[in-house]
Amino acid sequence: MEQLHKRFTNEQVKDLMQRYINKELKREHIQQMLKIKRRQFFKLLQEYRDNSKEFSIQYSRTEKTKGIDPAIENNILKELKNTKALIDDRSMPVWSYNYNFIKKDLEANQHQKVSLQTIINKAKQHGFYISRSKEHKAHDREVITNNIGELTQHDSSIHRFSPWIEDKWILITSLDDYSRFILYAILIERESAWAHIQALQTVFLKYGLPLKFYVDSHSIFRFVRGRDELHNKHYLMTDESDPQWKQVLRDCQVDVIHALSPQAKGKIERPYRWIQDHLVRICARDNISSIAKANQVLFREVYFYNYKWVHSTTKEVPYFRYQRALKENSALRPFVIPPPFQSIKDIFCFRINRVVDNYRSISVNNLQLKFNNAPIRDTVNLRIYPRNNSNLAEVRFWHNDKLLDVQHVKTKLILPVHF
């Protein structure tokens, strides 16, 4: 409703006040005409009686607006300048100002309360503002699920996550499509097939098996003819040779869907941007230069995202949405080691087939291996499991659904570097 001074003139209100004093109009009628409450009516009446000549309904502040505390303003400008430095650095995954982050940061670390609008006003006043682009790229493919475990989105991104280092780190993340609950997140220094296999192991053992995994067409996830083929495999078509990561999923009977563009993976890209944005800002603020400390920040932010943050699309906290769906509509299956295999080391591993020579040995990367019960001139399947915090890999020799032998070999001798 418009304010009183915008709907009536001074003379009109003065006339009504005088007619009330002369008992020509009742208070209720005047309130109804002016659309004001009883308290405001008597306030106007008192002002008119005190000084009828100077009476005015024009809006005027009786007190000077209290200005922002200089210390708070200085901290706001400091944070805005720091953000601008991150935006200007093209190697950092920060492309906009995050005023809400500044607000929460001031409250948590400086114990200074300030409204979000005040921060935005100061940003606009001092040129720390980027208008939103009107361009919008529609998704090439919309993925809609009705159950947790129906589809897990998995991806990685490489960036400088801290301005205090020159190296780029890789962020690997898995997310349940229905609940938007982040199942796995870690920063690593070098991307490899083994890092993504370890992600599968963690997610499957902790949460169970989904129906499908949704990934891009990275060579770790998919063989593409013309991009990944070797001179001796030129006859293979796309998807005719499964990468190691995909073979793990096949053993677990989990299907794979490949996104055809970044836009098609929008659901995981948005949480990625949220996590990346907070991660970079905190690393910049706290002078973090080690991946171990950066991972501590990442785990805290993922916890907040999963257990505290209300998702803008679902309007629910991911954890509570996940837990409710776990009881009502879950497509997850418990992980069970498929026979004839005996250990998770037979599943979450690398696979290599080799033919046994007449000396009961095989060759892997020019390394000759002899093992018990070797079948001469027959093919054996090696399941290779690199041991964490060790330079050794456990090699498990399989033939005709039987485990023939187990040996430990230096990882660098038996596995190619890109694994």
Domain extent listing, the chain: 4-50, 70-125, 152-328, 344-414
CA torsion 116→305→195→295, rounded to 10°? Answer: 60
Q: Which has the closest alpha carbon to 283: 116, 92, 22?
A: 92
74 Cβ contact list (under 8 Å, min separation 6):
none
Would you list the DSSP string of 35-95?
A: T--HHHHHHHHHHHHH-TTT---S---SSPPPPPPHHHHHHHHHHHHHHHHHHH-TTSS--
Q: Residue 167: what pLDDT?
A: 92
Q: Identify the pLDDT of residue 238.
A: 42
User: Which CATH fold would you assign to the domain 152-328?
Assistant: Nucleotidyltransferase; domain 5 (3.30.420)
Strands 152-159 and 212-215: parallel
In sequence order, which ranges of 241-364 are alpha helices (DSSP H)? Answer: 244-251, 266-285, 291-307, 318-328
pLDDT of residue 145: 87
Low-confidence stretches of the chain (pLDDT < 70) are 1-2, 59-66, 132-143, 223-241, 260-270, 417-419
Determine how many CB atoms are found less than 10 A away from the CB of residue 107: 12
Q: Could you read off the pLDDT of 74-126 as tens digits, one per residue?
A: 999 999 999 999 999 988 888 889 999 999 899 888 888 999 999 999 999 99
pLDDT digits (tens, 9 = 90+) for 180-222: 999 999 999 999 999 999 999 999 999 999 999 999 878 888 7
pTM for this predicted structure: 0.75
pLDDT score, position 59: 63
DSSP 8-class letter at 131: P
Strands 212-215 and 182-188 come out as unpaired
Q: Any idea of the CA torsion for 175, 180, 185, 187, to the nearest 10 degrees?
A: 100
